[in-house]
Each structure stands twice: as C-alpha cells, then as structure tokens.
Amino acid sequence: MENQTLSRRSFFNRLWTLLGTLAFAELIALLIIYFKPRKSRTAATNQDAIIIAGSVDSFEPGTVTAFVRGKFYLARLDDGGFLALSRSCTHLSCTVPWVSGKNRFICPCHSSEFDIRGDVISPPAPRALDLYPVAIENNVIRVNATRPERRSEYAADQIVYPGKT
C-alpha cells in the first residue's frame, strides 16, 4: 500500500462535493414533503363531528358559550336565535376570544372586532366569522363541527330558531 498524502486542495474539493450532495438531497426531500398530498384533518367520523351543545333553555339570550371540542362559539341572540361561529379570525386565523364586557369578539393579533352575530365591526378582517351548521331537534341543539361554512357577511337567514330547523 502506497503512502498517499491528500493535498489541501483535493481535501476541500471532496468536502465541498460532499456538502453540496447533502444540500441537494435535503432540497429534494423538502420538495417531496411540500408536494405530497396532505391527509384529511377531519379523520373523525361524521358522528364525532356532531356536537350536542345542550338544551335550548340552558342558553340565555344575548350570551356566547365556547365549545373547545368543536372549536366554535354558540351565540344565542337577543331574539332567541342561535349561531355557531368559528373561533378563527378571517384575517389571519388567530383564535378570537369573546369579550363579554364589550359584547364582541376581539382578535388579539390585529384587533379585528366582530359583533355577537360574527359580523365585522372593525377591520382588518375582510369578512364575517365562518358558521357551523346548527340544528335544533326536540329542544336539543346540535352543531355539525365538520367544516365551517364560509360567509362574507351576516344575513338573517343564517340564524336558527327553536321550532324552525
């Protein structure tokens, strides 16, 4: 076996080749991960997505109740109707808390404000909070928390009243 000495130049050439190959492999891996189709977020069955909120009588008019499991707020309007509002701001999807002292939802990220119906009071939010379908059967409120329905603004026909499904 011959005693070969590695010159400084050839050592750095091999090092840069190795580092370049590793960087290229990482780039390919990132591209594969980026373009790979995502798995559905809602892997739960339809039955798991229906949340029983409770009886109509357990919600006072003019109140908002948070449902952590369904990621929505159930708002009972002063006229007795119900809306299930998404907790995500329509500006940048920050979680929007209900501030009962001011009777509105106020986004902590960019100060968008929404009224109890989810309609925009103060921008930068471009549209009203999304809705989840509500059904009232036998005086029991059920919310389908599978996927919120996108809406641009509040409309009176979005409210669900007891006795009218």
For residue 24, is it within any domain? yes
Q: What is the CATH number of the domain that holds 97?
A: 2.102.10.10
Residue 29 host element (H or E): helix 8-35
For residue 27, is it within any domain? yes
Nearest in space to 98 (alpha carbons), one of 66, 133, 143: 66
Q: What's the pLDDT score for residue 6?
A: 81
For residue 152, is it within any domain? yes
* C-alpha span between 86 and 66 (Å, rounded): 10
For residue 4, is it within any domain? no
Q: What is the DSSP letter of 62?
A: T
Is the distance from CB of 118 to CB of 101 less than 8 angstroms? no
Same domain for 25 and 102?
no
Is the distance from CB of 95 to CB of 88 less than 8 angstroms? yes
Same domain for 102 and 137?
yes
Same domain for 18 and 51?
no
Q: What's the pLDDT score for residue 44?
A: 47
Q: What is the mean pLDDT of each run of 10 residues along the chain (165 residues)?
A: 75 94 95 82 58 91 89 93 94 91 92 93 92 92 91 89 73
Q: What's the pLDDT score for residue 5?
A: 78
* C-alpha span between 91 and 112 (Å, rounded): 8
For residue 3, is it within any domain? no
**pTM score, two decimals?**
0.69
